[in-house]
Amino acid sequence: MRKHVIAIDGPAASGKSTTARQVAQRLGFVHMNSGLFYRAITWASLRDGWSDDIERLREGVARLSILPIVEAGVLDVQVRGVRPGIALQGRDVSTRVSAVSATDFVRKRVLQLLRATAKEADVVCDGRDIGSVVFPDAHLKVFLVADVRERARRRLLDYQVEPSVEAIEEEAERLRARDDADSTRALAPLVKAAGAVEIDTTRLAPEAVIHRILELAGERGMRAPEG
Ligand code: C5P
């Protein structure tokens, strides 16, 4: 039988990964955070100094060994034998990742990795183009949105930074820039996929969002395993 896929897309810091992880855990699916692959490639390119030049980036990506690792129901990424982990969430990677992920060879590489992983397991996959390009036949597509200031506030709390008015405004500006780059690129831009259910999380608690998605999954025949 075809494995199940739940696609969760949305702008930066809209809560996709936290939500996807919880939904996957409760359904017994694997959580695939597609952004991790783009971040891993960006991280390697920054370390080696080939992020700025498109030809060097192309060659670097062609030679790069990058491996998905599924552990306890969560997908992690190994680049050249190491797992960068939290380093992938750093500001330098976040600033550069949109440009790197706008190239056709990077997108092709990540698409292959995501599809290969989803052949082996039921998955909840989050990103920007999951319902539109990577898994257009997903059993459920969700598009998460939230007010940019609320997203900035949540991101600062994740970084354990006091969410002052100024800090929120600065972070919101960074998020807007990334959303703008991701939405306006020619290849696989951030869009609400056909058939996706939009959920505005601005005023919703995380648990309410998870509950709503589990409800939608249940309506489509995907339920938590018994016991
Ligand atoms: O989800 P996250 O913020 O970690 O994604 C980092 C970046 O990776 C995004 O800003 C975007 O440029 C890229 N990305 C993408 N397509 C996806 C997932 C992420 O282009 N499906």
CATH number at residue 157: 3.40.50.300
- pLDDT on residue 225: 83
Arithmetic mean of pLDDT over the chain: 95
Question: Probe ligand 1: pick from 5, 31, 32, 34, max atoms within 8 Å of CB?
Answer: 34
Q: Which atom of ligand 1 is nearest to the CA of 38?
A: 8
Where in the sequence is the domain holding 180, given as residue range(s)?
A: 5-218
Q: Is 11 inside a domain boundary?
A: yes
**The total number of structural domains that make up the chain:** 1
- pLDDT on residue 196: 98
Cα 177 to ligand 1 centre (Å): 13
Largest CA distance in the chain: 53
Q: Is 225 inside a domain boundary?
A: no
Q: Is 166 inside a domain boundary?
A: yes
- pLDDT on residue 227: 66
- pLDDT on residue 2: 81
- pLDDT on residue 56: 95
- pLDDT on residue 139: 98
- Asked if the model's pLDDT at residue 111 lies above 80, the reply is yes
**What φ, ψ does residue 130 adopt, rounded to 5°?**
-70, -50
Please indicate whether residue 114, judged by its CB atom, sits closer than 6 Å to ligand 1: no
- Which residue has the CA at smallest separation from atom 1 of ligand 1? 35
- pLDDT on residue 107: 97
Q: Is 20 inside a domain boundary?
A: yes
Question: Probe ligand 1: pick from 14, 41, 97, max atoms within 8 Å of CB?
Answer: 97
Q: Which atom of ligand 1 is nearest to the CA of 134?
A: 21
Q: Is 224 inside a domain boundary?
A: no
Say if residues 178 and 94 touch (Cβ distance below 8 Å): yes
- pLDDT on residue 87: 96
DSSP state at residue 77: E
The residue-averaged pLDDT of 20-42 equals 97
Provide, rounded to the nearest whole percent, the portion of the chain with pLDDT above 70: 99
pTM for this model (two decimals): 0.95
Burial degree of 181 (CB within 10 A; 0-12, 13-18, 19+)? middle
The residue-averaged pLDDT of 14-28 equals 96
Q: What residue type is 186 in one-letter code?
A: A
Q: Which atom of ligand 1 is nearest to the CA of 88?
A: 4
The residue-averaged pLDDT of 64-84 equals 95
Nearest partner of 219 among 101, 116, 140, judged by Cα: 140
The residue-averaged pLDDT of 57-61 equals 96
Cα 34 to ligand 1 centre (Å): 7
Please indicate whether residue 130, judged by its CB atom, sits closer than 6 Å to ligand 1: yes
Q: Is 226 inside a domain boundary?
A: no
Q: Is 204 inside a domain boundary?
A: yes
Q: Is 89 inside a domain boundary?
A: yes
Cα 180 to ligand 1 centre (Å): 12
Burial degree of 198 (CB within 10 A; 0-12, 13-18, 19+)? exposed
The residue-averaged pLDDT of 169-181 equals 96
Strand ranges across the sheet with 197-200: 66-71, 74-79, 30-33, 123-127, 5-9, 140-145, 197-200
